[in-house]
Amino acid sequence: MTEPSPASSPEPTGAPADLPPTVFLMYGASGDLGRRLVLPAFFQLALQGLLPERWALIGSGRGDMTDASFRDHVHDALVEFGPHPDEGPWDEFARHLRFAGGGFTAEDAGEVPDVLTQVRADLGEDAQLVHYLAIPPKAFLPTTRAIDAHDLVQGCRIVYEKPYGTSLASFTELDDAVQEVFTEEQVYRIDHFLAFEAVQDVLHARLATPWLAALWSREHVAQVQIDIAETLDVAQRAEFYDATGAFLDMIVTHLFQIAATVAMDAPADLRPETVQAARDAAVQRFRPLDPAEVVLGRFDGYLDIDGVPADSTTDTLAAVRLWVDDDRWRDVPFLLRSGKKMAADEQRITLVLRPAVDGPYAGDPPADPAVISFSLLDGAALDIGVTLRAPGVQGGAVTGTATLQRTDLPGEPALPYTHLIHHVLHGDRSLFTGVDGLRAAWEAVQPLAADRPAVQDYAPGSWGPADVDRLAEPGVWFLR
């Protein structure tokens, strides 16, 4: 298959000086996500000179916090998670931080209006307003209504964390309310895996490297494997996790979006709407899952965790065989797997390549097939497996792997949330999930609502129940 060549730049462009004055109103700024991921991303943007010349970040929360204690909170977060405040102009950065306590509901906007008025007096009445909902998903809907009730919709952008819905019904309820209040162009729905540099590579390497593009189809690819394996426990967040499970936490969200990034047709250009529409169109071609091709697992010992009910049936691992119904991928299984307490911390997208179909090596495939494999972890790497003549006088075939470390490339990598906030600032929705794709994702998992497979036990430190291996047959999991 041939690919069109895209015409425009892969990154949002425009100097920070050209960005309008911007006010971020961050709901849930005191929470775990804010501390670990979002506030560090703001500081990384500041270090790289990528924030607008005039900006403010107002943390909003239900408690009372002074500006000074919010600044201390941000400082502590940076000390713990980096970039360290000493690495940059902390004092200057801190002056942009404000806090508005007293919560924010439709009935009572707390201190938000007052603080916003003060900030606007400084930045200008027409400063761009960006709402960032870093709050639990159950608060998305009431906060959306509150933003409407307090007349903070006009001209704003709004960022929703994941998960955007937990079923087709709850997605529809949330999205109906969101579409009533905002136009689609105002809405940024996060799936932070789309912002991993290695996930962005999957599209950009293919678009920029013709030989890679040439093998991007069923003609050369026998299987696609997407593996997000974690050794992590869930004891710190048992309540959340038990209500969610691996399938909802990871498969229908992150792994589906990654699968769509692999499966999408090459967009004709890199305009955000073209990229998002191409990815959404790929999700719309996902065949509804067959429950017989879904394996759910639970690590031994899960039921002993404090906060997990004795009769829990929550999955801590999920693996699925997904099919993409189009000419490019017909009959190529997409194998998705993610779980907790697994054998390794690994995040990989692997295209397993077909062996020779004719010539002297046909019919004699090597034990390890050739692959193109993207690691998503820090300092991510691209592994390219090629089958070669085996060394020595006996000959035969052997597969070797060449590894390209991203850390060997020139340039400073950016954190996923740094990319995401940068894109919001520039009005670029290419790294955000589209509403059509999300709806299609929930539709694709609907068969499980009526026919959920039983949860099977697996040993902590393993790759999951034996049935997971069966999903990959006649092949094998690249990670094993």
Ligand X SMILES: NC(=O)C1=CN([C@@H]2O[C@H](COP(=O)(O)OP(=O)(O)OC[C@H]3O[C@@H](n4cnc5c(N)ncnc54)[C@H](OP(=O)(O)O)[C@@H]3O)[C@@H](O)[C@H]2O)C=CC1
Pattern 248-287, ligand LXAUTJHC, x by CB under 6 A:
-x--------------------------------------
CB 28 within 8 A of CB 61: yes
Cβ proximity to ligand X: between 6 and 165 the closer is: 165
Q: Is 389 annotated as a binding residue?
A: no
Cβ proximity to ligand X: between 224 and 414 the closer is: 414
Cβ proximity to ligand X: between 148 and 290 the closer is: 148
Cβ proximity to ligand LXAUTJHC: between 137 and 369 the closer is: 137
Return the closest-CA partner of residue 259 out of 352, 322, 196: 322
∠ CA 66-69-72, rounded to 5°:
155
By CB under 6 A, residue 204 contacts ligand X: no
Cβ proximity to ligand LXAUTJHC: between 96 and 337 the closer is: 337
**Encoded tokens for 18:** 């050209």
Indicate which of ligand LXAUTJHC, ligand X, none lies near residue 44 (CB less than 5 to 8 Å, by partner kind). Answer: none
**Least distance from C-beta 249 to ligand LXAUTJHC, angstroms?**
5
Question: Which of these is catalytic: 96, 131, 254, 419?
Answer: 254
Helices marked H in 60-123: 67-81, 90-94, 112-123
Return the closest-CA partner of residue 378 out of 338, 337, 406: 406
By CB under 6 A, residue 161 contacts ligand LXAUTJHC: no
Beta strands in 341-429 (DSSP E): 346-353, 371-375, 381-389, 397-405
Strand 381-389, strand 397-405: pairing: antiparallel
b/e code 399-435 from CB counts within 10 Å (16+ = b): beeeeeebeeeeeeebbbbbbbbbbbbbebbbbbbbb
CB 32 within 8 A of CB 67: no
Pattern 215-234, ligand LXAUTJHC, x by CB under 6 A:
---------------x-x--
List % helix, strand, coil for the chain (3-state, nearest 5): 40, 20, 40
Choosing from 46, 135, 260, 370, the residue that interacts with ligand X (CB under 6 A) is 135
**Least distance from C-beta 62 to ligand X, angstroms?**
3
* Amino acid in the structure at residue 66: T
Choosing from 144, 152, 158, 161, the residue that interacts with ligand X (CB under 6 A) is 161
426 flagged as catalytic? no
**Least distance from C-beta 56 to ligand LXAUTJHC, angstroms?**
27
**Encoded tokens for 125:** 């009445």
Active-site residue set: 254
- Sequence ranges of the binding site for substrate: 192, 230, 249, 340
- What residues line the site for ligand LXAUTJHC (CB under 6 A)? 230, 232, 249
- What residues line the site for ligand X (CB under 6 A)? 28, 30-34, 61-63, 134-137, 139, 161-162
